[in-house]
Structure 1
Amino acid sequence: MEGNEPDPRFTLANERTFLTWLSTSLALCAGGVAIAALPENLFVPWVRTMLALVLVTLAAFAALAAYPRWRQIQRALRRAEPLPPPRLAPVFGYGVALVALLALVLIVVSA
């Protein structure tokens, strides 16, 4: 990679962020699998499947975006350029919020 070697603290912080994206992906995937494995009488089956699919899809996006994001940040650090904004942050924020709200509504309705 071209440019100057950045301060090791910044490189390690970038690596921790990369690993956090991967752990977030794993957590989203586990949540999707957990929702898919719920007993059939808890939620309407198609809604349960939809919630699981949204979470697993978000997990795939997080995992797929982790390495390119790491590379972008590392390149910017080496070139002393401004860091690029996290483009997928709104997708994850709104996606998880949507799943949480739908699950909340379904829990309240089924109680």
Structure 2
Amino acid sequence: MTAEPPDDEPDYRFTLANERTFLAWIRTALGLLAAGVAVRQLVPPFALPGATTALALVCVGLASMVAAASYPRWRRVQRAMRAGAPLPHSRMVVVLASGVLLLAVLAAVLVIIG
């Protein structure tokens, strides 16, 4: 028989910090979603056909990934805090940083080629 991990209530400040982090991920997803809509609706077409739509879809796709990963991350951190375990690492930091870099490079290339 395995012992159940402790389910201690963590200090409320840590719980609230975890919640603020979750909300920051959601704000980031909303910003990326808004950027995708704005690019598609407001940016004049680039010389490359479909480039505006592609740029918008990368924004929306990244927003979807961030939003989908934010709640499971919040839950894993909350469980770790309750169990007194080390906080889990998140691959989403690398995904988000890489995605924003991809967006920046794609936008720069599109601006340069006209």
Q: Is the TM-score greater than 0.5?
A: yes
Partners of 1:68 and 1:104 lie apart in 2 by 33
Relative distance call for 1:90 and 1:49 in structure 2 (3 A) is: same
Gaps of 5+ in 2: 1-5
Deviations 1:59-80 (A, max 9, x none): 1111111111110000000001
For residues 18 and 43 of structure 1, what CA distance do their matches in structure 2 show? 39
- Whichever of the two has the greater Rg, that structure is 2
TM-score by length of 1: 0.90
Compared with structure 1, are the counterparts of its residues 71 and 43 closer, same or farther at alpha carbon in structure 2 (3 Å cutoff)?
Answer: farther
The sequence identity of aligned pairs, in percent, is: 52
Amino acid at match of 1:39: P
Q: Which amino acid in structure 2 is aligned with residue 88 of structure 1?
A: M
The gaps in structure 1 that reach 5 residues or longer are: none
Q: 2:13 aligns with which of 3, 9, 15?
A: 9
2:33 corresponding residue in structure 1: 29
TM-score, normalising length: structure 2:
0.88
Q: Provide the residue aligned with 2:3 in structure 1.
A: none
Do the aligned partners of 2:77 and 2:88 also contact (CA within 8 Å) in 1?
yes
Output the aligned Cα RMSD: 1.3
